[in-house]
Amino acid sequence: MKRLLLMLLASSAHAQTADPPEAPRSRDDRPSAPFPPLPPSLPREPDETPPGGLTYVGLFLMRATATDVTQTAPVLKGQVTGRMFGANGTTTGDDAVTFLEQRYLGFFDYRPTLLEGRAALQAAFEVDFTFGDASNTVQANSGGALNGDSVNLQTKRLSAEVDLGAGLTLVVGLQPLADNPRNPARALPDELVHAGTRLAFWGSDAAGVSLYGRWHRRLLGRLAYFNLYENDVNEADDVHLAMLDGEFGVAPGLNVGGHLWYLRDGARGLGTALGVGPGSKLAALNGAAPLALGPDRAEAHLVWAGVDAHYNLGLAEGPFAASAFFMSNFGSFDVFEADDRAPTAPPFDTTDGELLGFMADLELAFRWGRTNGDTIEVEGLYASGDDAPDDRTVSSPITGNNYGLPGAVHASHRSLLLFPDLRVVNRQVGVVYDPANLGHGVIAGFLDAAWDVVPHRLNLKLGTAIAGAAAPPPGAARHIGTELNAELMYRPYPFLWFGLHGAVVRLGEFLEGGRVDLERIPAERPWTTYASLTWVHF
């Protein structure tokens, strides 16, 4: 899996010193946190000038997995992604499958001394593979077999960052794409996971131009443009995304933000082998918002508008924290008759499509003990849906999962199987992969409690999650599934964790309502267990 939170939240430190940089004070990257920290970033104020030089942050992740989730019809060589029991061929089997996976991420930040640290070249590279998968062949996400000399290096980031002064920073090139006014390469993990729209709409990387602003420590802003897909250079058949975001500190620890995004989709379903957009096979693979076009194609004008608020991120100001967002999504689809229509195809339907959906999320956290590893967290999610989504009216929100694999990674739910796990390498699947849930929307709740059994060393987390369709088909059940999960994390040294993780899901009757192939509905409950090694190094 290429586009994960582990990449988005990682960044190199901008100061080259003899000693390792101090860890940021954030709930997710303190040594006591139940979720292993991601490579830290060190944001700076506009009037601070970082020294020149080359800095580096790396992430090493190892997984040893046993699960009854298996794949019967691989779609992507070397990786598996999307919703379970769907087009990716995932289902459950009678016997457990086992495999070992490894990931390495390296982030490099070079600031020429000649420019006094005012400009930086940012690069990030990734190597993923499953033990024993392939050797001596050019293939992404592989290279773990005997004599494993595969060319599997992936470029994750390659951009130039320039300090323009007056609180403005320009980033040009291949860069993180997030639904947040902060520069993802400099933001703290909590600021991306628990602020903005939590990467639930956009969480990937893309080539573009971003202008970030920060003034008086209270006002943040972003104006950005991304070219998501460039098809024929002679045709207006591309996918462009423009984003305007802001955030203002209204009180100590309390921030309120606003978001306005526009996407022009002229690809007409083209862009990858699976196509892109609501009318593509990619949407079905990810369980994202669908658009029924038959053999025809459509261009789209899509708009997102919403607000968010968060209080006491990282629990730095007290034992309570809260965050919430509301995002509306509307637009239109202009339908065109396909050039390759078969003679036996039904008559061309001239009806254009329209979009009107929304998503809302609320999260609360309470530190009940001495450390930030002693916490109780609860989250509620609602995404609108349609009880008859196989038409040209889209009533569920469209996310980056309509355009990427994945294009969005809802980051705060902490589920392992009902919703996709974030601590993955090549296999990321979930019973509900995208909040649109095939157009039926979702109502979901998450609850977990964590305890630092040994302060700053050993943490235990127990959790549960439940999901139902916001608008199930007529006569169908609402319940999608219920998950129980547990994680035990041991930290023997700073920035090094060993973990044991497990989850089991009781599937609901919604899956029997015609939303999956009935022959692939398993009698067994999906379950997974794995051991992990996570090491962040400077």
Residue bearing tokens 């090094």 = 496
pLDDT digits (tens, 9 = 90+) for 294-333: 777 888 899 999 999 999 988 888 999 999 999 999 999 9
- Residues near 312 by Cβ (< 8 Å), separated by ≥ 6? 253, 254, 318, 320, 321, 322
Which pLDDT score is estimated for 179?
A: 93
Q: Is 196 helix (H, G, I), strand (E, B) or coil?
A: coil
DSSP assignment, residue 284?
A: H
Structure tokens at 480: 């999608």
pLDDT digits (tens, 9 = 90+) for 333-375: 988 877 766 676 677 777 888 999 999 999 999 999 999 999 9
Q: Mean pLDDT of all residues in the chain? A: 84
Closest C-alpha among 400, 374, 379, 9 to residue 191:
9
pLDDT digits (tens, 9 = 90+) for 189-244: 888 999 999 999 999 999 999 999 998 878 999 999 999 988 777 667 789 999 99
Structure tokens at 494: 């700073």
Which pLDDT score is estimated for 197?
A: 94
pLDDT at 523 over 80: no
H or E segment at 8? helix 5-8
Which pLDDT score is estimated for 281?
A: 84
Closest C-alpha among 483, 482, 470, 479 to residue 512:
479
Residue bearing tokens 């169908």 = 476
Give the largest CA-CA distance in the chain: 71
pLDDT digits (tens, 9 = 90+) for 79-107: 888 888 888 888 888 888 899 999 999 99
Global pTM value: 0.87
Which pLDDT score is estimated for 2?
A: 38
pLDDT at 469 over 90: yes
Domain locations in the chain as residue ranges: 5-233+254-537
Which pLDDT score is estimated for 44?
A: 40
Integer CA distances (angstroms), 410 to 47, 119, 235, 505, in order? 33, 32, 34, 19
Q: Is 3.40.120.10 the CATH classification of the domain at 5-233+254-537? A: no
Confidence label for 27 from pLDDT (cuts 50, 70 and 90) = very low
Which pLDDT score is estimated for 310?
A: 95
For residues 157 and 172, what is the distance between their CA atoms, to the nearest angstrom?
11
Q: Is 286 helix (H, G, I), strand (E, B) or coil?
A: helix
Report the length, in residues, of the chain: 538
Which pLDDT score is estimated for 454?
A: 95
Q: How does 258-297 read in b/e, with b if 16+ C-beta sit within 10 Å?
A: ebebebbbbbbbbbeebbbbbbbebbbbbbbbbbbbeebb
- Residues near 318 by Cβ (< 8 Å), separated by ≥ 6? 253, 312
Q: Is 64 helix (H, G, I), strand (E, B) or coil?
A: strand
For residues 126 and 8, what is the distance between their CA atoms, to the nearest angstrom?
12
Which pLDDT score is estimated for 145?
A: 80
Confidence label for 433 from pLDDT (cuts 50, 70 and 90) = very high
Structure tokens at 498: 């060993």
Which pLDDT score is estimated for 95?
A: 83
- DSSP assignment of 94-134 equals EEEEEEEEEEEEEEEEEE-GGGTTSEEEEEEEEEEEEBTS-
For residues 319 and 325, what is the distance between their CA atoms, to the nearest angstrom?
21
For residues 352 and 369, what is the distance between their CA atoms, to the nearest angstrom?
56
Query: Which region among 56-70, 147-161, 199-213 has the lowest average model confidence (pLDDT)?
Result: 147-161
CA angle 29, 35, 40 (to 5 degrees): 25
Closest C-alpha among 327, 50, 316, 49 to residue 196:
327
Which pLDDT score is estimated for 81?
A: 86
- pLDDT higher at 255 or 13: 255
Closest C-alpha among 500, 401, 397, 383 to residue 443:
383
Structure tokens at 64: 């040893």
- DSSP assignment of 321-336 equals EEEEEEEEEEEEEEEE
Confidence label for 73 from pLDDT (cuts 50, 70 and 90) = low
Integer CA distances (angstroms), 327 to 271, 315, 363, 395, 440, in order? 26, 25, 15, 13, 17
- DSSP assignment of 417-432 equals TTTT-SS-SSEEEESS
